[in-house]
Amino acid sequence: MRIVLQRVTKASVKVEDKIVGAIKKGLLIFVGVSNDDDCSDVDYLVKKIVNLRIFTDDEGKMNRSLFDNKYEILSISQFTLFANTNKGNRPSFTDAASPEYAKNMYEIFNQKITDLDIRLERGIFGASMKVELVNDGPVTIILDSKKR
Taking only the tens place, the pLDDT of each residue in 60-75 is: 999 999 999 999 999 9
56 belongs to the catalytic site: no
Residue 27: count of CB within 10 angstroms of its CB: 28
Chain segment 64-117, per-residue pLDDT in tens: 999 999 999 999 999 999 999 999 999 999 999 999 999 999 999 999 999 999
Catalytic (active site) residue 6:
no
> Has 67 been annotated as catalytic?
no
Asked whether the predicted pLDDT for residue 148 surpasses 90, the reply is no
Domains and CATH numbers, the chain: 2-144 (3.50.80.10)
* Residue-wise DSSP of 56-122: E-TTSSEEEEHHHHT-EEEEEE-GGGG-B-SSSSS-B-TTBPPHHHHHHHHHHHHHHHHTTT--EEE
Q: Which of 30, 55, 78, 82 is catalytic?
A: 78
Residue 122 exposed, middle or buried by CB count within 10 Å (0-12, 13-18, 19+): buried
User: What whole-number percentage of the chain has pLDDT above 70?
Assistant: 100
Q: Model's pTM, two decimal places?
A: 0.95
Catalytic member of 55, 79, 82, 109? 79
Q: Could you give the CA distance from residue 97 to residue 34 in angstroms, rounded to a whole number?
A: 4
**Per-residue confidence (pLDDT) for residue 113, from 0 to 100:** 97
**Do 40 and 109 contact (CB within 8 A), yes or no?**
no
